[in-house]
Amino acid sequence: MDFLREELFWVRQPKEFSIGKDCAEIVTAPGTDLWQRTYYGFCNDNAPLHLTKTSRQYFSFTAKTSFDGKHRFDQCGVAVYRDGENWLKASAEYENERFQRLGSVVTNGGYSDWATTDIPASVREIWYRLSRRGADFCVEYSEDGKTFRQMRICRLHACGGEIAFGIYACSPGQSSFRAVFTELTVGECLWKAHES
């Protein structure tokens, strides 16, 4: 199933974007972010998200991201979003000319966490696969769109029924960049049940 043919909607439509039949682009605005309270103390809930809704309890969503972030925390990736205090995002966040942080943030009840691993700053394309099994989610990434590696398994406490999921991009600092999303597909759940 082609994600861009779904019934899509914006949470905070950006000023500059384009949506084609097989490609979506977001140009980020300065000072946009998703984060709630933990460690930093601030609450930021102003990043644009392009989403679709589903009640399907089992599925996988895959997206290829191409980006040219150059300033600290520039980021783009995939997300599940219920409201400002309950969401999940996965992305690479630019840190400096040497490395960026490939990671995920899970926010439950208004508190975010951030799990990361460092990757070279030269990486400019990443595939993400977001899989759902009820209120549980698995996030994976790939460097070639074929071999995916697990980033995280988590639960969103407020997301047991209908959810909204899709793509996002933002620039928490005083910067802007173009994020390009292609190969956006939704299909059967590729995160198989655990066998004990």
Answer whether residue 194 is part of any domain. no
Q: Are the C-beta atoms of residues 77 and 90 closer than 8 Å to each other?
A: yes
Residue 175 one-letter amino acid? S
Range of the domain at 128: 3-187
193 assigned to some structural domain: no
Provide the β-strand partners of residue 115.
104
Instruction: Supply the pLDDT for residue 77.
Output: 98
Tell me the average pLDDT across 162-188: 97
* pTM of the model as a whole: 0.95
Q: What is the mean pLDDT of the chain?
A: 95
110 lies in some domain: yes
Number of structural domains (the chain) is: 1
In a domain, 195, yes or no: no
Confidence label for 194 from pLDDT (cuts 50, 70 and 90): confident
Residue 192 falls within a domain, yes or no?
no
pLDDT value of residue 39:
72
pLDDT (average), residues 60-88: 96
- pLDDT exceeds cutoff 80 at 42: no
Q: Report yes or no on 70 lying in a domain.
A: yes
Quote the tokens at residue 92: 């690479």
Cα of 189 vs its chain's centroid, Å: 18
Residue 80 within a domain: yes
For residue 96, give the CATH number of its domain: 2.60.120.200
| Residue 153 in tokens | 């398994």
Please report which helix (H) or strand (E) contains residue 45, including its range.
strand 43-45
